[in-house]
Structure 1
Amino acid sequence: MVLNATWIPRLAHAVQVDNCTEAAILWRVLVNEDRYKGYTNDTYGAILHGLSRHLQIKRLEEPSAHAVFEWIDTSDLMQGVVQNAFYSRGMCKSTICPLLNWTGNPDVAGRGMLATYIVQAILISLYIPMILAVRFERTPSRNSLLRRTILAAQHSSGTFLNASFVFSIAMLCASLIELASKFQHQLPKPSTGALLVLMPFASVLPVALLQLSASKMLRRNQGRVLLWVLMAALMSAILHMTTRPWYMDSNLNGRKIEEKWERICVDMKNVAKMQWFAVAIGIFVLLGTVTYVLMFMAMYFRHPTLVSWNTRISQPLWWLGLILGFVGMWSCLGWFVHLQIKMSVLGGEHNKDAEWSFGQVLAITTWVPVLVEFAYIWWERPVEALSGRLMDPYEVQEVSKETEGFEEARRRDTV
Structure 2
Amino acid sequence: MATLDICAFSCKGINIGIKNYQPWANCKAATAFLVPWIDHKTVNMTDLVTYLQSFGGTDVPEWKAMNWFFCAKECANREMSEWLIYKPMSICKDEMCEVWEWDGNADIVGIGMMFVYLMGAILASLYIASFLSSMYVENGHTTFKTRTPSKEQSFWDSIRSMFYNSLGAFHTGLGLLAASVLLATLFICGRKESVYDINMSHLACAVLTASYFLTLPIYVDIERKSISGSCFGVVIWLLFTVVMGLSSTAETAARLHGRVPFEANCWDSKVSFKASSAIFAFYLIPAVTSMLAGLTYLVGKCTKRPADKVPVLGWLFFRIPWRILSSIFFFIFMWTALGSLFTLRVDIASVNGGGVQESEGSWGFGQILALATSVPVGEEEMVILFKSGL
Q: TM-score with structure 2 length normalisation?
A: 0.76
- Distance (Å, rounded) in 1 between the aligned partners of 2:365 and 2:358: 17
Name the amino acid aligned to 2:227.
Answer: Q
- Three-state SS of the structure 1 residue aligned to 2:160 is helix
Give unmatched runs, 5+ long, in structure 2. 1-5, 139-146
> Counterpart of 2:239 in 1: which secondary structure?
helix
Counterpart of 1:330 in 2: which secondary structure? helix
CA distance change for structure 1 residues 286 and 171 in 2, over 3 Å: closer, same or farther? farther
Q: Tell me if 1:346 matches 2:351.
A: yes
Deviation of residue 164 (structure 1)?
Answer: 1.5
| 1:63 matched to 2:60 | yes
- The Cα of 1:119 is off from its aligned counterpart by 1.0
Alignment map for 1:215-230 (pairs within 5 Å):
216-230=221-235
SS of 1:234's partner is helix
SS of the residue aligned with 2:153? coil
Task: Tell me by how many angstroms 1:136 deviates.
Answer: 1.8
Please name the residue that 1:174 is paired with: 184
Matches within 5 A, 1:91-106: 92-93=93-94, 95-106=95-106
Question: What amino acid is aligned across from residue 232 of structure 1 in structure 2?
Answer: W
Quickly say closer, same or farther: Cα 1:18–1:223, change in 2 above 3 A: same
In the alignment, structure 1 residue 361 sits paired with structure 2 residue 362: no
How far did residue 43 of structure 1 move?
A: 3.8
Query: What is the 5 A alignment of 1:1-400?
Result: 3-4=9-10, 8-9=14-15, 15-16=21-22, 17-28=24-35, 30-33=37-40, 35-37=42-44, 40-51=45-56, 62-69=59-66, 71-75=68-72, 76=76, 77-78=80-81, 80-89=83-92, 92-93=93-94, 95-137=95-137, 142-180=152-190, 182=191, 187-212=192-217, 216-242=221-247, 244=249, 246-247=251-252, 251-252=256-257, 255=258, 259-268=260-269, 270-287=271-288, 305-308=306-309, 313-314=317-318, 315-347=320-352, 351-376=358-383
Query: Structure 1, residues 330-388: CA drift from partner, whole Å, max 9, x if none?
Result: 1111111111122223346864222222222222223223422454577679xxxxxxx
Residue in structure 2 matched with residue 404 of structure 1 by the alignment? none
- RMSD across aligned positions (CA): 3.6
Equivalent AA in structure 2 for residue 166 of structure 1: L
Provide closer, same or farther for how the CA distance between residues 173 and 99 of structure 1 changes in structure 2, counting only shifts above 3 A: same
Structure 1 residues not aligned, in runs of 5+: 53-60, 382-415
Count of aligned pairs between the two proteins: 355
Kept in 1, the 8 Å contact 2:104–2:359? The answer is: yes
User: Within 1, Cα distance between the matches of 2:342 and 2:280?
Assistant: 18
Structure 2 CA distance for aligned equivalents of residues 151 and 188 of structure 1:
45
Between Structure 1 and Structure 2, the one with more helix by share is: 2
In 2, Cα distance between the equivalents of 1:106 and 1:154?
A: 33
Percent identity over the alignment is 18
Match of 2:142 in 1: none
Q: State the distance in 2 between where 1:339 and 1:345 align.
A: 10
